[in-house]
Amino acid sequence: MKAVGYFKGQPITESESLIDLTIPVPEVRANDLLVRVKAISVNPVDAKQRQRKHSEDGTPVILGYDVAGVVEKVGDGVTAFRPGDEVYYAGDITRPGGNSELHAVDARIVAKKPSNLSFAEAAALPLTSLTAYEALVEHLKVKKGGTLLIIGGAGGVGSIAIQVAKLHGLKVAVTSSRPETIAWVKELGADVVVDHRQPLAPQLEANGITGVDYIFNTANTAQYWTQMAAIIKPFGHITSIVESPEPLDLTALMMKSATFSWELMFTRSMFQTPDMAEQGKILAQIADWIEQGKLRGTAAQTLSPINAENLKKAHALLESGKAKGKIVISGW
């Protein structure tokens, strides 16, 4: 079957950073689905993995952690899906990714795709939706009437987080700087937009916000740490999805009895946690919101077909830091 992968991690400008391949069809485990991939999208994790991870045994590395497609085959232990079902999911970072014609995935982290979205539109949603939902609902435990600051509001995760926050009755402030991304986050429901290149507290205060109950950092944890510690309210909570190259001074949160936690969407599948099936339930909830018109898709650009050339374009745009929403690649 066709796939896109690589053998040695390299900058995206190198000719073999991503290459077109022919690989065997994956084996299907008892709890797996075999999915015929119709569309994929790219995320920062793809670029990070591409630069860090290398082939160890001559088997190519296949990335891709957003998939929409059709179930081709179900494992012996699967009862919730059948061949022909249209599904979407983010996958498992410990297994080969979905940048291939056929992909094996644990059925517990899969849901039926929103019926009113195309495969391309649906492929933009899984990883970012899971990340945003887990961060806001499970980590921050947001409550109606609270104020949330999203650092990095125009990216894939921020674009979903704004909408999930508004569904939960929050006042939402986000960071953004370029005219097109400011317009984007406002369209998604942001109440206040501040420039991430300037001190955040004075800008928030100018908009009547003297502190926030929750902070969700999707951009740079270390860079904003001091500002976040100053802005968070007593008993507030900060969650980030961006690893820090240096230790964080948690003592800065002590006087406020504030808390900090990491969000990693892959934790459940990576460690096969007892609540792993929650991800399938979250995706089902996202699909329901989409179908009811309460949540909108975030696909901003679609390329076709799925091949190395288009995936290189998508990775380069993602790494430029100028992408808004999600970049999708559709069809083989």
pLDDT in tens, 259-314: 999 999 999 999 999 999 999 999 999 999 999 999 999 888 999 999 999 999 99
CATH code, 200? 3.40.50.720
Read off the pTM: 0.95
Based on the fold, state whether residues 40 and 16 are members of the same structural domain.
yes
Chain segment 234-261, per-residue pLDDT in tens? 999 999 999 999 999 999 999 999 999 9
Based on the fold, state whether residues 254 and 134 are members of the same structural domain.
yes
Q: How confident is the prediction for the chain on average, in pLDDT?
A: 96
Based on the fold, state whether residues 293 and 326 are members of the same structural domain.
yes
**Percent above pLDDT 70 for the chain:** 99
How many domains in the chain?
2
CA gap 277, 287 in Å, rounded: 16
Based on the fold, state whether residues 109 and 174 are members of the same structural domain.
no
CATH code, 277? 3.90.180.10
Based on the fold, state whether residues 56 and 147 are members of the same structural domain.
no
Give the single-character DSSP code of 115. T
Looking at residue 318, its pLDDT comes to 87
Residues 6+ away with beta carbon under 8 Å from 29: 75, 104, 106
Range of the domain at 250: 128-265
Based on the fold, state whether residues 116 and 132 are members of the same structural domain.
no
CA gap 259, 239 in Å, rounded: 9
Chain segment 177-199, per-residue pLDDT in tens? 899 999 999 999 999 999 999 99
Looking at residue 77, its pLDDT comes to 95
Based on the fold, state whether residues 198 and 120 are members of the same structural domain.
no
CA gap 101, 2 in Å, rounded: 6
DSSP string covering 189-233 = T-SEEE-TTS-HHHHHHHTT-S-EEEEEESS-HHHHHHHHHHHEE
Looking at residue 52, its pLDDT comes to 87
Give how far Cα 280 sits from Cα of 12, 39, 113, 163, 274, Å.
Answer: 32, 19, 11, 20, 13
Mean pLDDT calculated for residue range 132-155:
96
